[in-house]
Structure 1
Amino acid sequence: MPHKSPKICNTEECRELTYTTYCDKCRKDNHREYKEQRVDKKEQAFYSSLSWINLRNRKKRKNPLCEVCLEEGRLTPVEIVHHLTEVKDDWSQRLSIDNLQSVCKAHHHKIHFSVDGKKYTKLKKVREPMKDSKVTIVNGASGSGKTTYVQDHIEHGDLVIDIDYLWMAVTMLDMYDKPQHLTDIVLAMRNEACRVLQSKMDKGIRAWIITTAKDVDELKRMFNAEVITLDTGRDKCIERILSDTRRVGSTDKHIGLVNQWYGTE
């Protein structure tokens, strides 16, 4: 039994009550009309293909929240992966992840239909940062010296998004003491910091994002960022980890991460 109150269907002239954006009838009518627009057999076959399904799932993993809702300050799980440039308009872009956008059903509906069911617009792409803003992504394996690199190049007033220091700030524990039950919360705080930074890119902010992720294509696109990858070498990283007293008790975990980065595990 739903706990929230029903509301009037979002379709103009419809007065049905619903617990979602559209009542069942309007949602089915809109979906039927959308499918009828896709008459190209080649296009229909593509959307049933394994290559599309795999790419769609990859996009959902990279962007698990509706990108439009994020720009509007809301956290909504992705429901549909949308082509910014439609397949029928540019076949060559059908498998380009940069041409995809994670959206919720409500925003996907707005892409393809107005209140009278007619297609009217596409959602805008993620805003491009101003030229006077600069974001630098520094990535590398554990122990590669990412934080030291940023400390050597940072200027007064720069923003640094480093999840290790975020852990320290919100738990008051040592840098590598990270209670697992808080992981989702800290990651959400890091993601929200990135979202707010993106919304302020017209303010001329200089920022650094420190990460151990190897795949930073989405972050790079999001901020039009420069990427600096520190290739310190597996042996050197492990040597630093073993000599770092802060990592006592978690050395095996960090060495495992180094091996993953260099593909030796």
Structure 2
Amino acid sequence: MFENAHDLYKSKEWKNLLQTLKLERVNESGKLLCEYCGEEIVKAYDCIGHHKIPLNNSNVNDYNISLNPDNIMLIHFKCHNAVHHRFGYELPKKVYIVYGSPCAGKSTWVESMGTADDLIIDIDKIWECISFCDKYNKPRKLQQNIFETRNCLIDQVKMRLGNWQNAFIVGTYPLKMERQRLADKLGAELIYIDCDKEICLSRAKDENWKKYINEWFESFQE
């Protein structure tokens, strides 16, 4: 029994069903195509299971709706928002924790997915917003203020304060327990931006950032 839709999305039943559908719905060329726009879904984190009959707390335990393959479309993350806006569905507030190595492309992905109705809590952008430093310059004397600003915004997300539609929390979060604890606290979905270490290093602006990248890959827990 699921208490709400969020419980379903965290469940093994849902994750196993999505994995099965991804395998079953590849075309003859081995590509998985978005069932909304028809373009290829390249990255695993960009594939969303969309319920044709909208899921809510009243029907979440009706498996003919919640876990019925015929009621589920595999579509791009951005297409998911488009589907709901097009058909006027009222989406509940959703929270995503987007994590990965420095220079993996987390902020770039979020900016390509978000809309004007979404809230973005990006530690690098906070550095730029409330200091004279760019995101590659992080003096220790400012760290407490930066982190307290981020924590204040995260508390607002926890209380669902405001009229935002989606909240994206962007950070490195290499430790499994740390990011899972935050996800449980916020009722959030974890999205891992997977990027090869060599690519991240090639994007680094200076030696300090190369050091951060190497340290992240040493401490990262799947």
Q: TM-score, normalised by structure 2?
A: 0.53
Change (3 A) 1:178 1:202: closer
Indicate yes or no: 2:197 matched with 1:239.
Answer: no
Is the 8 Å Cα contact of residues 118 and 164 (structure 2) preserved in structure 1?
Answer: no
User: Match of 2:218?
Assistant: 263
1: distance between equivalents of 2:194 and 2:150? 24
- Secondary structure in 1 aligned to 2:109? helix
Indicate yes or no: 2:155 matched with 1:199.
Answer: no
Match of 2:168 among 173, 191, 208: 208
1: distance between equivalents of 2:171 and 2:142? 18
Structure 1: state its 5+ residue gaps.
1-130, 242-246
Post-superposition CA distance 1:34-84 (Å, at most 9, x none)? xxxxxxxxxxxxxxxxxxxxxxxxxxxxxxxxxxxxxxxxxxxxxxxxxxx
Indicate yes or no: 2:126 matched with 1:163.
Answer: no
Change (3 A) 1:222 1:141: same
1:166 Cα deviation after fit:
0.6
Is the 8 Å Cα contact of residues 139 and 211 (structure 1) preserved in structure 2?
Answer: yes
Change (3 A) 1:181 1:135: same
Match of 1:224 among 184, 187, 194: 187
Query: Which residue identity is paired with 1:236?
Result: I
- Secondary structure in 2 aligned to 1:262? helix
Indicate yes or no: 2:209 matched with 1:254.
Answer: yes
1:253 Cα deviation after fit:
2.0
Alignment coverage as a number of residue pairs = 127
2: distance between equivalents of 1:202 and 1:173? 29
Give RMSD over aligned pairs: 2.1
User: Match of 1:144?
Assistant: 104
User: Match of 2:19?
Assistant: none
Query: Which residue identity is paired with 1:260?
Result: E
Q: TM-score, normalised by structure 1?
A: 0.45
User: Match of 2:138?
Assistant: 178
Structure 2: state its 5+ residue gaps.
1-90
Higher relative contact order (CA 8 A, sep 6+): 2
